[in-house]
Each structure stands twice: as C-alpha cells, then as structure tokens.
Amino acid sequence: MTQLNQKGVRDMVQHGLRTGMAWFMVWTYTAMAPFGWAFFACLCFLWRKDPHLRAVRLQRVQTRAYRFMHSWLRWSGITNFDHRRPIGGLPDGPSVVIANHPTLMDITSITAVVGSGCTIIKPAMFNRRLLHGLLVGAGHIEGPGADVLSIGRILEDAVDRLQQGFTIIVFPEGTRSRGSKLLPFGRTPFEIACRAGVPLVSMTVQCDPVYLSKEVPVLRPPHPVPELRLGVLAIDYPRSEGLGSRELRKKVEARYHAWIEKPAKASVSSP
C-alpha cells in the first residue's frame, strides 16, 4: 500500500471516528439538557429578588457552560476553538459587539471570549414556555415581531442593558449566511451603539472547513477538524466620529465585504 493510500485510509478512519463522536455528543447533550434547564431555573428562582444581580450571575453561569462546551468539543476532536487565546483590541466596559454569522457556534464562542453578553433572540424562541423565564432572567432581549413598534422597544431595552454595564451581542445579518457571502446588514445594532454612545466592536468569525452552517449539519462533521477563529476587525466610536446609524451601518458593512474578499489582510485574528 502506497503512502498516499495509507493517508487516505487514516483520514477515512479519523473522519468516521469523529462522526461517531458527533452522534455521541448530540445524544449526551440531549440527555443532559433537562438537568441543565432545571439547574438554571433553580438559580433564576433563587436570585429573583434582584433582577440585575440575577442577570449578572446567570450570564456568568452561561459563559462557563459555553467555555466548558468548547473545551469538550476541542478535546473530543469535533472542533478546534480555544477560548483562552487572547484577542487584542476588545474595549473595557459596555459595548455593542457585532460579527458575521457563518455557523451555529458563533454566539457561544463570542460569549466564551467576551465573558458575557445580552443577545437579541427571535420571538419564536424567546417566547417558548420553558425558555422565556430563563432568557428574561439572564437579561436577554426579545427580537422584533410583526409589530413595527417592537423595534423601539428593542432599542430601549438594549440601551438600558448597556447603561447597566452589560455588553450587547448582535449579528447584523439576522441569521446565518450562506457560503462566503454576507447577507444585508440590519440597522438595529448601529442605532443601539449611537443612542447609547458606546463603542461598536466588529468581530470576525472564520471556520475552516465550515461546520454547523446551513449547508453542513451537526451530524456530518467535515474533515479535517474544523478550526474556529475569532478576531477584531475594527472598533468604531459613533459619538466621537459624529456618525449616525445609517452612515455607521454603511461604513461597517463595506468593511466586512472588503474583509470577506481579502480576510488575510483585513482581519486581526487570534493567534
């Protein structure tokens, strides 16, 4: 058997093992989910007297859970992402963090690095009976619905969270992108940053090979092991730059398109 054939067999065996591990991970997390929900619900109830402190504590629990999850995925060979690797440029204090959205791991990886963050969640998920109380307790925000006035409520809630010292994490595309092309950016995160007068942090997400995208489901992990990388593309200060939300969105969206075309030159990725 030639060296090339040996490598092909070895790759096929490793891929098969990782696929089996992916199935095992899914079943394990499914079995553990009720216990995790019960633990989170108990904490939410016990800390109910001080909503702000409850949100702070629950976000810490959530962050630790995400870090453990990514460490487990890395140890098992499903994905390679190390939240402990430093990412330079992140500002101190409240900010609005945005990012491109290629995979399902984006929110968990960003939260694991940033440390905590309130997110805007689609109403269909936010209002699920078993999740609603927990999401409210952790300080997350219900996304826009059919009522156009809901945008005003989202802006008020987000600015309030920032004034309380929280970070807001938003994907301006609104959903996962397909392939390497970005979807049009919504205006909401830019309006939040302008109203609150906080920095807008543009982060980059790269996954090579792509995994947990709309085209690659969880039970079909690619080979070799997908490596997830985060970076800081730029930080904008709307108040000092004198930018409105429309101008800021246009500027940032153009910057992301330039990065997508030449990621190696435009992004500042983690080592």
Please report, as a single letter, which amino acid is at residue 11.
D
For 68-101, the pLDDT digits (tens) are: 999 999 998 899 999 998 888 888 899 999 999 9
For residue 127, CA distances in Å to 131, 135, 143, 215 come to 7, 9, 10, 27
Is pLDDT of 268 > 50? no
Mean predicted confidence (pLDDT) in 55-79: 94
Which of these ranges, 84-93, 206-215, 227-236, has the smallest mean pLDDT?
84-93
Mean predicted confidence (pLDDT) in 135-159: 91
For 9-35, the pLDDT digits (tens) are: 676 777 788 888 888 888 988 899 999
Domain boundaries, the chain: 3-266
What's the distance, Cα to Cα, between the start and end of the chain in Å? 38
Q: What is the pLDDT of residue 179?
A: 73
For 118-133, the pLDDT digits (tens) are: 999 999 999 999 999 9
Average pLDDT, the chain: 90
- What is the CATH number that goes with domain 3-266? 3.40.1130
Burial readout 50-72 (b: 16 or more C-beta within 10 A, e: otherwise): eeeebbbbbbebbbebbbebbee
Is pLDDT of 4 > 50? yes
Query: How far apart (Å, rounded) are the C-alpha atoms in residues 60 and 52?
Result: 13
Is pLDDT of 265 > 70? no
Say if CB 59 and CB 69 are below 8 A apart: no
pLDDT band at 264 (very low <50, low <70, confident <90, very high): very low
What whole-number percentage of the chain has pLDDT above 90? 69
Mean predicted confidence (pLDDT) in 239-258: 95
